[in-house]
Structure 1
C-alpha cells in the first residue's frame, strides 16, 4: 500500500452519519448490500478486495458538529485496520499539506 495510490475520502460538507455513509459508499465503491450503518461499514472495510490506503480529508467539520459520531467512525476505521493491517491503512489529513510537499500531513488510525 503506497500513499501515491491512496483513495481520498473527502468529507468536506459531511455533517451527519447519513452523509458519511453515502460518501464512504461512493468513494470506496462499497457493495450494493452496504446497509449504511456502523456494522455494515466495518464489514465492508474488512472485506475490501484489494489492499487500500484511505486518506480522510475535510473531516474537521463533521468532527466538530457530530463529535460522538466522529469518535464512532474513528473506532470503526481503527478496528478494521487492526483486523486487516496488511490490507487497509487509514490516514487522517491534518491540513493543507506541508510547504514544499505534494503530500498532506496525515495521522494513521489503528
Structure 2
C-alpha cells in the first residue's frame, strides 16, 4: 500500500450524518445506489479498489457537533480496516484543527 497518494476525506463544513455520508459518497466514489447509512458505508469501504489509504482531515467540527455519529464512523472505519488487512488504511489527521467548521446557523425567528 502506498501512502503517498491517499484519498483525502476532508470533513470541513460537515455538521451531521447526512453531510458525512454525502462527503463519503463523493470522495470515495461510492455508487449512486449507496444507501447513506452505516451498514452501506461499511459495505462501500469493503468494495473500494485496493490498496487504498483514506486520510480523514478537518473532522474536529463534525466530532463536536455529532459526537455519537463520529464515534460510529470511527468504529465503521476500524472494522473495515480489520476486515481488509494490508488493503485498506484509514488515518485520522490530528493537525489542522484551526480550520473550524462554519458556525451553526441562527435559529429562525431571531
- 1:78 paired residue number: 78
Alpha-carbon displacement from aligned partner over 1:44-79 (angstroms, at most 9, x marks no partner): 101112210000000000001110000000000000
**Unaligned ranges ≥5, structure 1:** 97-110
Counterparts of 1:22-37 in structure 2, within 5 Å, are: 22-37=22-37
CA distances 1:16-48 after superposition (whole Å, capped 9, x unpaired): 000000000000001122100000000010111
SS in structure 2 at match of 1:53: strand
Partners of 2:92 and 2:19 in 1: how far apart?
A: 18
Cα deviation for residue 5 of structure 1 reads: 0.9
In 2, distance between residues paired with 1:85 and 1:47?
14
User: Comparing both chains, which one has the higher relative contact order based on Cα–Cα distances under 8 Å and sequence gaps of 6 or more?
Assistant: 2
Task: State the TM-score, normalized to the length of structure 2.
Answer: 0.84
TM-score w.r.t. the length of structure 1 is 0.84
Q: Which has the higher strand share?
A: 1
The two structures, once aligned, show a CA RMSD in angstroms of 0.8
Equivalenced residue count is 96
**Considering only CA atoms, is the larger Rg found in Structure 1 or Structure 2?**
2
